[in-house]
Structure 1
């Protein structure tokens, strides 16, 4: 019978945060390039380009904020090593 592996809460949380950090570029790629493949009809609107620019800048800003939050959370959950300079 397979034995269940128990991970400490801090280790489990750190592993999930690392997984989220690894998947963030994939999410960004889908958010950036997904709408490019959606066919939108030429409605002749002059503001269509401005809308796309706002979308891309919004996605870019959101990815920066989420990355900063993940980095801060990973920093808090990383164990300190007293032998290294600066405690890392």
Structure 2
């Protein structure tokens, strides 16, 4: 019989940095998904589409992606924290 496994522990600083890196990696996929969304909208009953609302939507998404990247970038510049020896913290 195998002994029970110890749960893996990751330091909070390292965990937050990894989640932030994951968010930065997902930002382009989120952008593509949001940019494709207007193609799924149903056209007006007359069969024509108002490109003005689609254009405003696309520029708003573009600006939102720039703002999100600007918020994430400064936090990703810092070097990863040094690993601590948790046995000494008792």
TM-score by length of 1: 0.75
Check conservation: 2:35, 2:61, Cα contact below 8 A. Answer: yes
Aligned counterpart, 2:23: 20
Distance 1:41 1:21 in 2: 36
Q: How does 1:9-88 map to 2 (within 5 A)?
A: 9-43=12-46, 48-76=50-78, 78-79=79-80
TM-score by length of 2: 0.74
Distance 2:41 2:5 in 1: 47
Aligned length: 78
**CA offsets, 1:38-85, max 9 Å, x none?**
222244778x21111110000001001101111112124x338xxxxx
**CA offsets, 1:6-50, max 9 Å, x none?**
11111000000011011111110110002212222244778x211
Mind listing any 5+ residue stretches in structure 1 that lack a counterpart? 81-88
Shift of the 75–9 alpha-carbon distance from structure 1 to 2, 3 Å rule, reads same
